[in-house]
A and B are shown apart, each in its own frame.
Chain A
Amino acid sequence: MFRIYDKIRRTGRLTEALPPAGDKVAKLGAACQKEVAARFGGSLAIRMVDAGSCNGCELEMHALNNPFYDIERFGIHFVASPRHADLLLVTGVVSRHMQEALERTFAATPAPKLVVAMGDCAGCGGEFGTSYASCGPVENVIPVDAVIPGCPPTPVQLLQGILELLRKS
């Protein structure tokens, strides 16, 4: 137990001043926090939906929760149900087998709601495109408010994309 406390003490806080991303993250986050405070009462709830990704986007989404980015400190958190969500973060092309599940998830999200297509697949079809198995980009299935390009987008790009959407919407 003491060894754990000791390790925690020695690890210290990572969420500040970690160049080069540290600065950028802090600035981006502060800007996000302002928008979230103004428009969402201080709390933006995100529900992610993998509609047919290769799982690369999910890895970078996970990274947003690591101590370097710690996205929750900006009032942004991932929730377990679309019914609790303000924003759907959709990854991947929409596979035919996920089409109905994505539509239902969209329907289950209370209005007003935002949809972000994360990554090149969700944005424009990426490497998989449209085929017998894929409906192509997310906008072919549900309305999309913003696209965050990248394969996959980095955590900083993801934060940037969310901020841009909050500012314009």
Chain B
Amino acid sequence: MSDVVVSETQPQRVTPGKVAGFAGQLAAAGITARSETPLPGLAAELVLQPADWGGAARVAAESALRWSALWGDHRPPAIAVMALLFGADGHLLLRTEVAEESPELPSQAPFFVAAGRPERHLRDMLGVRFDAPDARRWTRHQGWDEGVFPLRGDFPAAGTPAAKTPPDAGYPFAAVAGEGVYEIPVGPVHAGIIEPGHFRFQAVGETILRMEEHLGYVHKGIEKIAVGRDLDRLSRLAARVSGDSTVAHGWAACQAAERALGVEPPPRALALRAILAERERIANHLGDIGAICNDVGFAFAQVQMTRLRELWQRRNLELFGHRLLMDRVVPGGVACDLETGQLPAFREEIAFLRGEMEELLPLLLEYPSLQDRLRGTGVLPPKEARRLGALGCVGRASGLRDDLRRDAPYAPYDRLAIEVPDCLDGDVAGRVRVRGEEVLVSLGLLEKLLQQLPEGPQRADCPAPGREVEGLGLVEGWRGETVAYLRLDAEGRVLRYFPRDPSWLTWPALEVLLGDVIVPDFPVCNKSVNGSYSGHDL
């Protein structure tokens, strides 16, 4: 593991479809699409007629593309709607436009399950209606009225909230009836130190028949309050979309801005961003491995992993000035640096953690009474992972190995060989193993990045563009593919910011992998997925 290489013998278990030629496939299906010069970072961009929105998704599903993200942008008198798809050769952006007074579109959810909740979010936030089978509200609880849409231009960010927002008691959960079936409502306030959300269990005895998530409790209006910010204040907001992914979201937002402005961050800044991102990946995986083991009562792993994580975070503070690395990624580069004198200690730290992990991982992965609890628990079969488009280590533990660092590389990963660990078991044990292996891979990447650390400045200027521009950021965060869409005005102020956390694609996986799991195993299954509530609720 000391050297990171792409193994020729690794099976390429990645999204198989290709973006190139997709326009031709659409044409063969009778759908005309206008090809546009793609935004930087994309492989292709197509403009569709609204009526073809669903049909294009059908063709994309047949072509085995992976569905990635959906968002809208109010540009009176129209609402622009964009969907992002991923193929083995890069990302494809689909665009269409609907009139603001009758914003209706065919749903993509019948062809991509993953589109369901984003479409409901778009309806709640912008009023775009989809003819989807599940037309329930999603992000909106009782915080604002039905029929008004916070992301419309005429909706003030302050809104007109009531002094007291009532609880969302009437959310229409799907019902399961039958002899002996009972419901357990859990949340939004949970028992542990964890974010709020509601889980509705239908169980028979100890066995979960069905679990339904109700999220949106920590909706803070991120998309709305981004509007009007300059880029520095945008990057501070992006750093707080999900605190555990502060580097990933910060990088995605800044990358979107830089691509929109045509700014190239200095090579040293990009290398430092990657160093920050790998440090974030390692910290989170360490925390998760410990917490997962702790949820089945194996305190040894929790103590060891939290120990390593704390040491790692202290070094974050020492080297970069923040334990979680917040606000280190800034528009045009980074707000930190590494001095040559710091490198030997950094290398020692890498070697130390590798030694610890090489000792601890086999211990955990072979310890029978731990594995007895983790193997076969919370299985997400590979077929389901692909159907849902599951990202990050959740996807990889179920054989879906997409990783933008390798598959759609951006600097500095484009000059590094990236090994992507995976397995086909799809259980909690698999997700622990993949996390552990990802830590080792990231340690190797850190070594490479330190070896090749370019000299030069840490930051480039981000001048006002002088005209309206848009850009897309695509970064592999520790949870997986992290997306940011940005539209800026002539002064470089935000007109639209949409961050898509990978959790949108993994929360639905949690519902699926709970089939036949016993209620007491819910916490360990939940932890093994570890979706971000904040990153999802926005």
A99 B165 Cβ-Cβ under 8 A = yes
A132 B161 Cβ-Cβ under 8 A = yes
B326 A65 Cβ-Cβ under 8 A = no
Cβ–Cβ < 8 Å partners of A21 in chain B: 314
B191 A80 Cβ-Cβ under 8 A = yes
Cβ–Cβ < 8 Å partners of A80 in chain B: 191-192
B246 A132 Cβ-Cβ under 8 A = no
A99 B241 Cβ-Cβ under 8 A = no
Indicate whether B196 reaches chain A with its CB closer than 8 angstroms.
Answer: yes
A95 B304 Cβ-Cβ under 8 A = no
A100 B167 Cβ-Cβ under 8 A = yes
Indicate whether B414 reaches chain A with its CB closer than 8 angstroms.
Answer: no
B321 CB, nearest partner CB in chain A, Å: 12
Majority-rule SS of A interface residues: mixed
**How distant is the Cα of A62 from the Cα of B222 in the complex, in angstroms?**
25
Indicate whether B189 reaches chain A with its CB closer than 8 angstroms.
Answer: yes
Indicate whether B220 reaches chain A with its CB closer than 8 angstroms.
Answer: yes
Indicate whether A142 reaches chain B with its CB closer than 8 angstroms.
Answer: no
Indicate whether B195 reaches chain A with its CB closer than 8 angstroms.
Answer: yes
CB contact under 8 A between A95 and B193, given known A56-B246, A59-B243: no
A8 B300 Cβ-Cβ under 8 A = yes
Indicate whether B534 reaches chain A with its CB closer than 8 angstroms.
Answer: yes
Cβ–Cβ < 8 Å partners of A8 in chain B: 300
A-binding segment of B31-39, B152-160, B175-183? B152-160
Q: Which residue of A lies closest to B308 (CB)?
A: A66
Indicate whether B386 reaches chain A with its CB closer than 8 angstroms.
Answer: no
Contact with B along A72-105 (1 / 0, CB 8 A): 0000001011100000000011011111110001
Q: Which residue of B lies closest to A58 (CB)?
A: B193
B-binding segment of A26-34, A36-44, A45-53, A159-167? A45-53
**How distant is the Cα of A56 from the Cα of B246 in the complex, in angstroms?**
9
A55 B158 Cβ-Cβ under 8 A = no
Q: Which of A1-43 contact B (CB under 8 A)?
A: 3-4, 7-8, 11, 14, 21
CB contact under 8 A between A56 and B188, given known A68-B310, A132-B161: no
B168 A50 Cβ-Cβ under 8 A = no
Q: How many residues of chain A have a CB within 8 Å of chain B?
A: 54
**How distant is the Cα of A126 from the Cα of B239 in the complex, in angstroms?**
12
Q: Which residue of A lies closest to B198 (CB)?
A: A101
Indicate whether B144 reaches chain A with its CB closer than 8 angstroms.
Answer: yes
Indicate whether B324 reaches chain A with its CB closer than 8 angstroms.
Answer: yes
A104 CB, nearest partner CB in chain B, Å: 8
Picked from B195, B217, B222, B310, the residue with its CB within 8 Å of the CB of A97 is B217
A46 CB, nearest partner CB in chain B, Å: 10
A-binding segment of B90-98, B271-279, B346-354, B359-367? B359-367
Indicate whether B442 reaches chain A with its CB closer than 8 angstroms.
Answer: no
A128 B534 Cβ-Cβ under 8 A = no
B243 A152 Cβ-Cβ under 8 A = yes
Cβ–Cβ < 8 Å partners of A100 in chain B: 164-167
A133 B303 Cβ-Cβ under 8 A = no
Contact with A along B126-159 (1 / 0, CB 8 A): 0000000000000001111000001000011111
B189 A49 Cβ-Cβ under 8 A = yes
Cβ–Cβ < 8 Å partners of B222 in chain A: 128
B310 CB, nearest partner CB in chain A, Å: 5
**How distant is the Cα of A130 from the Cα of B225 in the complex, in angstroms?**
10
Cβ–Cβ < 8 Å partners of B534 in chain A: 53-55
B165 A96 Cβ-Cβ under 8 A = yes
Picked from B188, B220, B303, B360, the residue with its CB within 8 Å of the CB of A134 is B220
Contact with A along B193-205 (1 / 0, CB 8 A): 1111000000000
B307 A11 Cβ-Cβ under 8 A = yes
Indicate whether A131 reaches chain B with its CB closer than 8 angstroms.
Answer: yes
Indicate whether B224 reaches chain A with its CB closer than 8 angstroms.
Answer: yes
Cβ–Cβ < 8 Å partners of B367 in chain A: 4
Picked from A11, A49, A53, A130, the residue with its CB within 8 Å of the CB of B243 is A53
Indicate whether B532 reaches chain A with its CB closer than 8 angstroms.
Answer: yes
B525 CB, nearest partner CB in chain A, Å: 19
A53 B194 Cβ-Cβ under 8 A = no
Contact with A along B286-314 (1 / 0, CB 8 A): 01000000000000100110110110011
CB contact under 8 A between A55 and B533, given known A49-B189, A98-B218: yes
Cβ–Cβ < 8 Å partners of A95 in chain B: 143, 217-220, 537
**How distant is the Cα of A7 from the Cα of B362 in the complex, in angstroms?**
13
Q: Which residue of B lies closest to A65 (CB)?
A: B306
Picked from A68, A101, A134, A154, the residue with its CB within 8 Å of the CB of B323 is A154
Q: Which residue of B lies closest to A47 (CB)?
A: B189
Indicate whether B221 reaches chain A with its CB closer than 8 angstroms.
Answer: yes
Q: Which of B208-236 contact A (CB under 8 A)?
A: 216-222, 224-225, 236
Indicate whether B379 reaches chain A with its CB closer than 8 angstroms.
Answer: no
B159 A50 Cβ-Cβ under 8 A = no
**How distant is the Cα of A7 from the Cα of B300 in the complex, in angstroms?**
9
A56 B240 Cβ-Cβ under 8 A = yes
CB contact under 8 A between A52 and B326, given known A81-B191, A127-B240, A131-B225: no
Picked from B287, B307, B326, the residue with its CB within 8 Å of the CB of A56 is B326
Picked from B166, B220, B244, the residue with its CB within 8 Å of the CB of A52 is B220
**How distant is the Cα of A100 from the Cα of B161 in the complex, in angstroms?**
14
CB contact under 8 A between A55 and B323, given known A100-B164, A132-B150: no
Cβ–Cβ < 8 Å partners of A11 in chain B: 303-304, 307
Cβ–Cβ < 8 Å partners of A122 in chain B: none
B153 CB, nearest partner CB in chain A, Å: 14
B221 A134 Cβ-Cβ under 8 A = yes
Q: Which residue of A lies closest to B323 (CB)?
A: A154
B194 A97 Cβ-Cβ under 8 A = no
A7 B246 Cβ-Cβ under 8 A = no
Cβ–Cβ < 8 Å partners of B220 in chain A: 52, 92-93, 95, 128, 131, 133-134
**How distant is the Cα of A63 from the Cα of B221 in the complex, in angstroms?**
28
Indicate whether A60 reaches chain B with its CB closer than 8 angstroms.
Answer: yes
**How distant is the Cα of A78 from the Cα of B192 in the complex, in angstroms?**
8
Q: Which residue of B lies closest to A10 (CB)?
A: B359
12 contacts between A and B (CB under 8 A): A3-B363, A52-B220, A81-B191, A96-B142, A97-B217, A127-B236, A127-B237, A131-B220, A132-B143, A132-B157, A132-B159, A152-B324
Question: What 7 pairs across the A-B complex have the smallest Cβ distances?
Answer: A132-B159, A56-B243, A133-B221, A96-B143, A80-B191, A66-B306, A54-B243
